[in-house]
Chains A and B, each alone.
Chain A
Amino acid sequence: MNRIDWEERLQHFVQVLAFCLVVATIQYGFQPDRPYGPPVVYSVLIGIFIWAIIDFGRAFLPSAADTGWPRGFTAIALAAGGITAGWFIGTQVADSLCKAYGIYPPGSAPADPAADLRNSILIALIAGTVATYYFYSASRSTYFERQIGEARRHADEARLKLLETQLEPHMLFNTLANLRALIGVDPPRAQQMLDHMIAYLRATLTASRSTTHALHAEFDRLRDYLELMGIRMGARLAFSLELPPELAQRPVPTLLLQPLVENSIQHGLEPQVRGGRITVSARTEAGVLVLEVVDTGVGTTAMPSQGQGFGLTQIGERLTALYGDRASFEFDSTPGQGTRARIRLPLDDA
């Protein structure tokens, strides 16, 4: 059974009550010579039974699990069943109530019972359908509004998380601490470091605005990052960037290699006392562009976990979105030896 929202049911009940009174009043308006009491009693009772059957009945239908309302055939069956059963029960109860309390004024027996029955069924059918459809569409629109709100929140969270991984606070503050130190002892080098940092920050913050850039731009951003890290890690970091000039203008997705290089630093070289070397290279191989990030860090036994995983899953997802199955991503790591990440992109349209 689905969860029942009691507050929502109460609201519906009040609305149904008001609607029934309106229906009874209209009915009275057409036959002002007849008393107002009976139409009110019939209308309210039939309405409440129809409402109760449909509004509580939908909680038992499995297809109503997410929107709160069933779909397709079950929806029509529920409405038809609710209106029919509600009319019968409501009419029976109203009959006995009117008799028991003498709501019919003396001498006002219906002139044409068949016509009254026809009217009653017609009114119940039309009013029941209208009201049910009204509640149905109101519920669905709040459901979709909620869905949109949630989707928006998820997107915001994802963007924030991406930014947080890119602008990792630990990296940021350590870099600032280095800058502060350099300003005192070696101002020209501090300036150089600041320039690398500005370029790195700019690239990181604008990466989401364009989807591709030239391979040499990608390598320039990597150089900014590695120079920054080089100042921090000193002799513990060695790196080389190998980009053949004929590939320099090849377009590649923006900052595709950045997470791999950061990965190599954070999880490969930083934990290793003696440091190590990172080699980033581009080459063509049988009509395919091969990009590689290789480090001599500590390596890992398992597939990268949590924090690392975010960057790596993202690479896989981006490649699939842009190239389908014509691109591939391999990640291969041996404890004590290092890590090799390799991306293959199609050369023709890349």
Chain B
Amino acid sequence: MTRATALIAEDEPLLAQALQAELARAWPELQVLAIAGDGESAVAQALALVPDVLLFDIRMPGQSGIEAAAQLADEWPPGKPFPALAFITAYDQYAVQAFETQAVDYVLKPVQPERLKKSVAKIQDLLARRTATQTGDFETTLGQLRQLLGGTASAAVSAPGLLKVLQVSVGSSIRMVPVDDILCFEAADKYVRVLTEGHEYLIRTPLKELLPQLDAQRFWQIHRGTVVRAEAIDAVTRDDAGKMHLVLRGRQERLAVSRLYAHLFKAM
């Protein structure tokens, strides 16, 4: 077996160094390819370097560690096994609880050598199994990430009740758009595009804050930046590369379906 490689994502430089030093003691053969300081660059570097192990801090500037891992899972090149994933956190009850229930590996800061050794053993075990079975347990990882994304978000935001109308500013006036008319929400830079049959609006409320206020039975998240009304979906297609797209009734756009949410679409 060739030497295993790792990528660390940690925004505090001293902690990243310390983790690297502790890892060197607990797992001398592991080769740390790079240290990323935020979520976006962690995703970019992971895609470029294709490491075997990812160690992601939860709280990072920009994207959180969980969001970064989810994006990575979505954009991971097919045919290559997904890395073994472990999160690092200083103190976050919600996250730790979620990790426990999802059986996702995590490391607590300050890093304790004994605890790190156990995590290392688990990761090594996972890597050994992965080379043996080839397929890996990518589906399990997808499920775990899906739960983590939902779990930490709903724990942090106390349910504010379901939205009935969206208040959208159009020029100098406020338009009231009934939620029932909305086909799709799409995150676009600093705004969220709201599509109805004949119109398109822009709102400033981030998708993350909007999601808990939508009826989860009717509005499905199909991608990091896309939420569609289930009844408005016309057809879902899968291309040769295995990527899924869907088309909405009354609209022309083809919307990408993330691998994280592909499980929503199965023939009855």
- Given A180-B110, A184-B21, the answer on whether A301 and B204 have CB atoms closer than 8 Å is yes
Check: B37 CB closer than 8 A to any chain A CB.
yes
* In the assembled complex, A234 has its CB within 8 A of some CB on chain B: yes
Q: How many A-B residue pairs have CB under 8 A?
A: 69
Contact B12 A173 (CB under 8 A): no
Q: Assess whether B188 is interfacial by the CB under 8 Å rule.
A: no
A173 and B62 contact, Cβ closer than 8 Å, known pairs A180-B18, A273-B40 = no
Complex interface bits, B45-63 against A, C-beta within 8 A gives 1, otherwise 0: 0000000000000010110
Check A185 for interface membership: any CB of B closer than 8 A: yes
A170 and chain B: residue at smallest CB distance: B91
Give Cα distance in the complex from A3 to B199, angstroms.
53
How far apart are A160's CB and chain B's nearest CB, in angstroms?
A: 16
Say yes or no: A170-B90 contact (C-beta < 8 A), given A273-B62, A301-B204: yes
> Chain B contacts of A273 at CB under 8 A?
37-38, 40, 61-62
Docked-complex contact A231 and B14, CB < 8 angstroms: yes
Q: How far is the CA of A275 from the CA of B11 in the complex (A)?
A: 11
Minimum CB–CB distance for B114 against chain A, Å: 14
- Contacts of A264-302 to chain B: CB distance below 8 A: 270-273, 275, 301
- In Å, the complex CA distance between A335 and B205 comes to 12
Say yes or no: B15 contacts A174, CB within 8 Å: yes
Q: Which of B55-87 contact A (CB under 8 A)?
A: 59, 61-62
Q: Which of A157-181 contact B (CB under 8 A)?
A: 169-170, 172-174, 176-181
Interface flags, A223-235, vs B, CB<8A=1, else 0: 0000000011110
Q: A170-B92, A173-B90, A181-B17 are in contact. Are A271 and B61 (CB under 8 A)?
A: yes
Q: Which residue of B lies closest to A168 (CB)?
A: B91
B91 contacts across to A, CB distance below 8 A: 169-170, 172-174
Contact A178 B38 (CB under 8 A): no
Query: Contacts A234-B12, A271-B62, A273-B62 known; A177 to B111 CB distance under 8 Å?
Result: yes
A172, A232, A271: the one contacting B14 at CB < 8 Å is: A232
Asked whether any CB of chain B lies closer than 8 Å to the CB of A21, the reply is: no
A174 touches B12 (CB 8 A): yes
Contact partner of A184 among B11, B18, B92, CB < 8 A? B18
Q: Is the interface of A mostly helix, strand, loop or mixed?
A: helix
A185 and B109 in contact (CB under 8 A), knowing A170-B59, A174-B12, A273-B38?
A: no
- Known contacts A169-B91, A173-B109, A301-B204; decide if A178 and B37 are in contact (CB<8 Å): no
B13 at the binding interface (Cβ < 8 Å)? yes
- The minimal Cβ–Cβ distance linking B127 to chain A, given in whole angstroms, is 26
Contact between chains at B110 and A232 (CB < 8 Å):
no
Q: Is the CB of A176 within 8 A of B110?
A: yes
CB-defined contacts of B15 to chain A, threshold 8 Å: 174, 177-178, 181, 232
Looking across the interface, which residue of chain B has its beta carbon closest to that of A336? B190
Q: Which residues of B contact A178 (CB under 8 A)?
A: 12, 14-15
Closest A-chain residue to B108, C-beta based?
A: A173
CB atoms of A173 and B110 under 8 A apart? yes
- In the bound complex, residues from chain A placing their C-beta under 8 Å from that of B62 are 271-273
What is the chain B residue whose CB lies nearest that of A175?
B90
Kindly state the separation between the CA atoms of A174 and B109 in the bound complex, as whole angstroms.
7
Q: Which residues of B contact A174 (CB under 8 A)?
A: 12, 15, 90-91, 109
Q: Which residues of B contact A231 (CB under 8 A)?
A: 14
Q: With a CB–CB cut-off of 8 A, which chain B residues contact A234?
A: 12-14
Q: Distance in Å from the Cβ of B24 to the closest Cβ of chain A?
A: 12
- Which chain B residues lie closer than 8 Å to A272 at the CB level? 61-62
* One of A177, A184, A185, A236 near B90 (C-beta < 8 A): A177
Asked if A98 CB lies within 8 Å of chain B CBs, one says no
Hey, which chain B residues are within 8 Å of A181, CB to CB?
A: 14-15, 17-18, 21, 110
CB distance from A226 to the nearest CB of B (A): 15
| Residues 83-119 of chain A, each 1 if its beta carbon lies under 8 Å from chain B, else 0 | 0000000000000000000000000000000000000
Q: A178–B110 Cα gap in the complex (Å)?
A: 8
Chain A residues with Cβ below 8 Å from B108 are: 173
Q: Return the chain A residue nearest B21 by Cβ.
A: A184
CA A170 – CA B58 in complex, angstroms?
11
A201 close to chain B: CB less than 8 A: no
A173 / chain B contacts, CB cutoff of 8 Å? 90-91, 108-110
How far is B121's CA from A58's CA once the two chains are assembled, in angstroms?
70
Distance in angstroms from B71 CB to nearest chain A CB is 15
Binding site for B on A (CB under 8 A): 169-170, 172-174, 176-182, 184-185, 231-234, 236, 270-273, 275, 301, 335
A-B contact pairs, 26 of them (CB 8 A): A174-B15, A174-B90, A174-B91, A176-B109, A176-B110, A177-B12, A177-B15, A177-B109, A177-B111, A178-B12, A178-B14, A180-B110, A180-B111, A181-B14, A181-B15, A182-B14, A185-B17, A232-B15, A233-B12, A234-B13, A234-B14, A270-B61, A271-B61, A273-B37, A275-B61, A301-B204
Q: Which 9 A-B pairs have the closest CB atoms?
A: A181-B18, A177-B110, A177-B109, A173-B90, A169-B91, A180-B110, A174-B90, A234-B13, A173-B91
New A-B contacts (4) at CB < 8 Å, excluding given A234-B14, A271-B61: A170-B92, A173-B90, A236-B61, A273-B38
